Amino acid sequence: MKKLKMRSKDITKENVERIGKLFPNVITEIKDEDGNITHAIDFELLQQELSDEIVEGSKERYQLTWPGKKEAIVRANTPIDKTLRPVKEDSVSWEDTENLYIEGDNLEVLKLLQESYLNKIKCIYIDPPYNTGKDFIYKDNFTQDKDEYAEESGQVDEYGNRLFQNTEYNGRFHSDWLTMMYPRLKLARNLLSEDGVIFVSIDDNEVHNLRKICDEIFGERNFVNVFVWRKSKGSGNDSKYIIVETEYILLYAKNIENVKFNNQIKSIDDSKFKYKDEYFEERGGYNLEKL
């Protein structure tokens, strides 16, 4: 016999969840009347998401913020008057190819793809600037035109997009990088299908900030894993203190409940584990590798 439900449906909670699916970044944490932490809507941020103008506000809350964050949200939401132009003369098998290669400013291309590929892409991989203090990142909101900027700095990419060197002496070192990354990740999320995932390469310069903005954009619950991979072996020192041999790949899902991974296990050659110790019966042999 089924028990009678003694409490009515929590409509507010369901509405919060619905809004959270559309805008994961507006979900924040507050204390309820009993002092327990619960999810709530950051209405000021939701208002910003629904506007193409900067919305001012001052209410204190748990969040990642930096100078330029609101501009980054506006930048993601602002439409552009451009289109993709096919170049058939440079294409191979134009009529029956299943591949698409796009040249252009990545922020503008992400906006143009919203029309045809919204909620349709299964997997995205991006390899953004690592913000090492030596690399160049996209500067989207210069007041100078391209010719003026190119004349002053001499830095444009092969398509004429303006770049600037984000050195560690820049007072907005992390803020500029975050402002560049935020709209691109936000637009990339829109393109993912409900079972889609995104892989983002990074190193230790910004892995902490990347994790935070991805938690905000994709939702903390949709974090899948961070892969650590060895980029080099042997001697060599690219740090003042210790040799750095690893970089990272962050993996996030659009909706982790819909993602299915291939659990096929790669076979291992046991013959190379030829050394034995007192734990051999428990865990088998082991192998030695040079550091």
pLDDT band with cut points at 50, 70 and 90 for residue 49: confident
- pTM, entire model: 0.67
Distance CA 229, CA 58 (A): 41
Closest to 39 in 3D by CA, of 15, 55, 60, 65? 15
Going from the C-alpha of 226 to that of each of 197, 203, 211, 252, the distances in angstroms are 13, 11, 9, 9
Q: Rounding to the nearest 10 degrees, give the CA dihedral for residues 211, 243, 127, 208.
A: 10
264-275 pLDDT, tens digit each: 766 777 778 888
What is residue 144's predicted lDDT score, i.e. its pLDDT? 36
What is residue 210's predicted lDDT score, i.e. its pLDDT? 97
Q: Are 286 and 221 in contact (CB under 8 A)?
A: no
182-236 pLDDT, tens digit each: 999 999 999 999 999 999 999 998 999 999 999 999 999 999 999 999 887 655 5
Percent of the chain surpassing pLDDT 70:
75
Average pLDDT of the chain to the nearest whole number: 80
Range 64-85+103-262+269-283: architecture per CATH? 3-Layer(aba) Sandwich (3.40)
Give the start-to-end residue ranges of the domains of the chain: 7-63, 64-85+103-262+269-283
pLDDT band with cut points at 50, 70 and 90 for residue 279: confident
